[in-house]
A and B are shown apart, each in its own frame.
Chain A
Amino acid sequence: MSDSGSAQAGGALVQPPPEMGGAWMRRQQMGQRLLGRTFLYLVLAVLTVVLVAPLVWMVSASFKPEGYVFEYPPRLIAEQVQWWNYVEAWNQFPFWRSLRNTMTITIGVEAGRLLSASLTAYVFARLRFPGRNALFLLVLSTMMIPYHVVLIPQYILFRELAWLDSFKPLIVPHFFGGGAFFIFLLRQFFMTIPRDYDDAARIDGAGTFAILWRIILPMSKPALATVAIFTFMAEWNDFLAPLIYLNSQEKYTLAIAIRQWQQVAVWGAGAYVPPTWNAIMAMATVLTIPPVVLFFFTQRYFIQRVVISGSK
């Protein structure tokens, strides 16, 4: 940077000798390049700070005493560090039970989706049968139907089945196909596995579904992991469906329970103490940590999803 600076500033005074022209030009070009690069990294750094700041402040506020949450200029670490904001918050509502509910639902959905999406994907990737193209088009077309359009009739259906206020409406549908996007993703992956493996197993006497179970699935761990990770993310974030289907507090998922705690408390109903911002930030941090940590350690699967499916 100093190179280009001096070359420009002193350009008029110190003309390079003609025989030095090439080297001087090169040096000036390198200088400009360095300037450009510095600017580029500056922009990236500013963007990073802007994007990460809200998360840093969230965590920072979750450890502050109440009076310091709106302190300005803000300090990253307040005079007192108060880790019991967390304990206080989860003592005010059934935190662990809600967490267990979320995990139960997630495990159920994972099982249903991994099994049934890979079964469906396998049929489309490997078997030849009349109606295959039309049925695959049907699978893809279900991607076009937003969940919210079928929400009301599904609700009525589950009400008829007396499944309301249970985890069943949130889990059972995932055993029936597992979702078009995941079928598509797994099919794309299965198609990259050479058929020689199937043939070898078939010669050994394996049937159609034994090949899926013993050959294809063990070779598809990266794709299955991708499905599992995105399912976890979706279930952890899910809000509207548990809000509609779960009525009693013992059944609440973590997101719903936190919302209930924050809302009822803010309105000052019952024996609740209104939660303070540091406590709310503590719960926001608790909600944020699992997906962010998962993302940190499984980034290659996020990238893989884009590579396999050609879409997000």
Chain B
Amino acid sequence: MFWKRSLSLQARETRDAYIGLLPFLLGFVIFTAGPLIYSFYLSFTRYDILSAPRWSGFENYARMASADETLWQSLRVTVIYTMVAVPVQVIVGYAMALLLNLKVKGLSFWRTAFYMPAVVPAMAVAYVFSWMLQSDVGLLNQSLRAIGLPGPKWFGDPNWVLAAFILMSAWAVGGTLLLYLSALQGVPTELYDASKVDGANAWRRFLNVTLPMTSPVIFFVFLTGMIGTFQVFTVAFVTTNGGPGEASLFYLLYLYRTGWEYLQMGYAAAMAWLLFVILLVITLLSLRLSRTTVFYEGAQE
């Protein structure tokens, strides 16, 4: 009697669980797994949306590998941007958090001020910076001229356009602040006390206690930062739309063009898969790297 009842309870719980998960499972099949597989199929076709997809074998991938100079340019742009913007995010954001962790007065005021640029919409950021970085009359170049420095043409110069994008991303560096601050505040004070007893100075305490204890969060900011910079779209679309020439043709911008302007959905699907693989490799490599460089408290040695 008793076991029968408890069995039916468990059965009911299982039934309820799967009823509750039904929306998620349906969504997973319809909007994630299905599309993922379908886009893999599409990447082997020619598809202009208007007529049915036609099987074309490895044509798209062959074109990516050899014939499409623009694709490589867009990868180059994205990688260069990532290689500068992400370290700036990681390091400057961390330095800001360290400053605010020095028991400063008015912490919430500074925190608000530093974090605020991160909540400004990408469109507004794009407009404000394309105005301030005007080559002749923009605020920044006029200020530079006032102290005798020649300002570059920023968005108008192929050699400087990425610097302008990096400037925009650096401006919003405070977006990492809350994460860093909560990590810094989570470092147990006993560790600092113990380190002090050992006679370590502030710099050694930072190297031996703060840095290892907060390394998981640094790693997280690094990883999500890279995933983010590989998917830059709005600011680039609004400010330069890839120009001058192809100097700021970010990967997604080119993907959008390929799919929705040139109507080459098959090729765009292949590009999307390449993006997926790149992000997967970055994530796996980072996780591997993190095993030797990141300290996880309580982890088995």
Q: A152's contact among B14, B119, B174, B269, by CB below 8 Å, is which?
A: B269
Contact in complex: A120, B179 (CB < 8 Å)? no
| CB closest residue in chain A, given B12 | A208
Contacts of B179 in A (CB 8 A): 306, 311-312
Contact in complex: A61, B131 (CB < 8 Å)? yes
How would you classify the secondary structure of chain A's contact residues: helix, strand, loop or mixed? helix
Contact in complex: A47, B16 (CB < 8 Å)? no
With A209-B20, A306-B178: A239-B123 Cβ-Cβ less than 8 Å: yes
Contact in complex: B24, A291 (CB < 8 Å)? no
Q: A176's contact among B17, B27, B38, B99, by CB below 8 Å, is which?
A: B27
Contact in complex: B233, A52 (CB < 8 Å)? no
Question: Which A residues from 129 to 170 make CB contacts under 8 A with B?
Answer: 129-130, 132, 135, 138-139, 142, 144-146, 148-157, 159
Contact in complex: B116, A295 (CB < 8 Å)? yes
Q: Write out, one digit per residue, whether chain B residues 124-160 have a CB within 8 A of any chain A CB (1) or not (0).
A: 1001110110100111001100100000000000000
With A40-B102, A284-B123, A292-B116: A152-B39 Cβ-Cβ less than 8 Å: yes
With A209-B20, A295-B119: A146-B182 Cβ-Cβ less than 8 Å: no
Contact in complex: B114, A284 (CB < 8 Å)? no
Interface with A: B73-81, B251-259, B293-301, which one? B251-259
| CB closest residue in chain B, given A128 | B13
Q: A138's contact among B28, B100, B108, B280, by CB below 8 Å, is which?
A: B28
Interface with A: B29-37, B60-68, B190-198, B205-213, which one? B29-37
Contact in complex: B275, A146 (CB < 8 Å)? yes
Distance in Å: Cβ of A174 to nearest Cβ of chain B: 9
Q: How far is the CA of A121 from the CA of B222 in the complex (A)?
A: 28
Q: How far is the CA of A142 from the CA of B129 in the complex (A)?
A: 34
Contact in complex: B122, A239 (CB < 8 Å)? yes
| CB closest residue in chain A, given B53 | A156
With A58-B124, A119-B20: A157-B35 Cβ-Cβ less than 8 Å: yes
Contact in complex: B119, A281 (CB < 8 Å)? no
How many chain B residues touch the partner (CB < 8 A)?
A: 87
Contacts of B13 in A (CB 8 A): 127-129, 208
Contact in complex: B139, A302 (CB < 8 Å)? no
Q: How far is the CA of A193 from the CA of B100 in the complex (A)?
A: 32
Contacts of B234 in A (CB 8 A): 237, 239-240
Whether, in the assembled complex, A43 has its beta carbon less than 8 Å from a beta carbon of chain B, the answer is: yes
Whether, in the assembled complex, A246 has its beta carbon less than 8 Å from a beta carbon of chain B, the answer is: no
Q: How far is the CA of A57 from the CA of B133 in the complex (A)?
A: 13
Q: How far is the CA of A303 from the CA of B231 in the complex (A)?
A: 25
Contacts of B199 in A (CB 8 A): none
Contacts of B248 in A (CB 8 A): none
With A255-B123, A284-B124: A151-B272 Cβ-Cβ less than 8 Å: yes
Q: How far is the CA of A119 from the CA of B227 in the complex (A)?
A: 28
Q: How far is the CA of A159 from the CA of B221 in the complex (A)?
A: 37
Q: A142's contact among B28, B39, B119, B134, by CB below 8 Å, is which?
A: B28
Contact in complex: A295, B275 (CB < 8 Å)? no
Q: B256's contact among A44, A240, A277, by CB below 8 Å, is which?
A: A240
Contacts of A225 in B (CB 8 A): none
Contacts of A173 in B (CB 8 A): 27, 31
Q: Which residues of B contact A (CB under 8 A)?
A: 10, 12-14, 16-18, 20-21, 23-24, 26-28, 30-32, 34-36, 38-39, 42, 49, 96, 99-100, 102, 104, 108, 110-117, 119-124, 127-129, 131-132, 134, 137-139, 142-143, 146, 171, 174-176, 178-179, 182, 220-221, 224, 227, 231, 233-234, 237-238, 252, 255-256, 259-260, 265, 268-269, 272-273, 275-276, 279-280, 283
Give 20 pairs: A residue, B residue, CB < 8 Å, sorted on A.
A41-B104, A44-B100, A44-B104, A47-B113, A73-B146, A119-B20, A128-B17, A148-B231, A150-B35, A151-B272, A153-B35, A157-B35, A176-B24, A176-B30, A237-B234, A280-B127, A284-B123, A306-B178, A306-B179, A312-B221
Per CB-CB distance, the 9 closest pairs between chain A and chain B, nearest first, are A176-B27, A153-B35, A177-B24, A70-B137, A129-B17, A150-B35, A123-B20, A208-B16, A284-B124
